[in-house]
Amino acid sequence: MELRHLRYFLAVAHELHFTRAAEKLGIGQPPLSQQIQQLERELGVTLLLRGRRGVELTEAGHAFREEALRTLGAADRAMETARRVGNSEIDKLAIGFTVSASIHPFVPRVIRASRERLPQVEIMLQQHTTNELIAAVKDRQIDVAFIRAPAPEAAGVQVETLLHEPLVAVLSTAHPLARRKTIRLKDLAGEPFIFYPRKVGTGIYDAVVQACQSCGFSPEVRFEVPQMTSVITFVAAGMGVSLVPQTMRQLHAEGVKYISIADADVPQAHLALAFNRRALSLALSRFITQVREFAVRYEGRNSGV
């Protein structure tokens, strides 16, 4: 069976007349009839009932028609994709992100907008730690990544800050400070802190340590957990306290309370974009431009986020 057999059959199934189908296909009626008979012999079933006034589809013919339409549709899409790729009309874009960055509403929104505005670009998503993403961008395994700045330096990798947001304290609801609406950072002096390892990502880790030291104490790191969402779980279990980006409030975990920091100089978390400036494809350049434009609009509308 070949694709032409499916096209011949669908033409007859549509016209319900061999002569009209042959004219539509641009072939003679006898060859068309022979091709359909060959198809029926191969399938071992009758697809069409021939009559003086035309033809009718058998039950098998109706079922075969639906599958033939799907098969030809897939074949046509495959050929169109191959042509577009061959003509450089389609590009691929590998986008990486950390867990913390992905929770920020900006990231899924800008990716969704990019899929709509750049339909010719195939987008692939990958989740890694900050250090892994920087290395992947450097080695051109990933085109661009959403991370928390600052990030380790790497040859050719440019890290561009997009948005800023304050850090907030996250406490167990059983903690005495959880009854307050705001706290001062120095109120957490002596408390056991829950972090995720600095080797995983330096951005928020360093921001918290520096903010605490500016208030006269060094945080006592009691536990290190693999990712930001695990911090919330450990806090809910009463294992300690932590500071997280304000957008983490979206995780409405049972047993925790997010409390704003009342200090004049509230520590900040920074959402950033990392890309290899030595490997700027057309698709990547368009994506970066869109992210920059989106960040300006987003910050204007969500200055409190």
**Average model confidence (pLDDT) across the chain:** 88
193 bridge partner residues: 221, 241
pLDDT over 90 percentage in the chain: 47
- Pair type for strands 144-149 and 91-97: parallel
Return the amino acid letter for 95: I
Predicted pLDDT of residue 1: 74
Q: Give tens-digit pLDDT for 192-209.
A: 999 877 777 667 788 888
Residue 221: count of CB within 10 angstroms of its CB: 17
Q: Give tens-digit pLDDT for 156-184.
A: 999 999 999 999 999 999 999 999 999 99
Residue 199 tokens, joined: 């080797």
Predicted pLDDT of residue 44: 92
Mention every residue, 6+ apart, whose C-beta is less than 8 A from residue 201. Answer: 98, 100, 129, 130, 131, 147, 148, 151
Q: Give tens-digit pLDDT for 90-139.
A: 578 999 999 889 999 999 999 999 888 888 888 999 999 888 999 999 99
Predicted pLDDT of residue 87: 54
List the alpha helices (DSSP H) in 159-263.
202-214, 228-236
pLDDT, average across residues 148-160: 89
Predicted pLDDT of residue 305: 43
Residue 82 has pLDDT above 70, yes or no: no
- Bigger pLDDT: 151 vs 233: 233
Mention every residue, 6+ apart, whose C-beta is less than 8 A from residue 79. Answer: none
Predicted pLDDT of residue 76: 82
Nearest 5 degrees, angle CA 115-CA 73-CA 78?
60
Predicted pLDDT of residue 304: 47
Residue 303 has pLDDT above 70, yes or no: no
pTM above 0.85, yes or no: no
59-62-65-66 Cα dihedral, nearest 10 degrees: -110
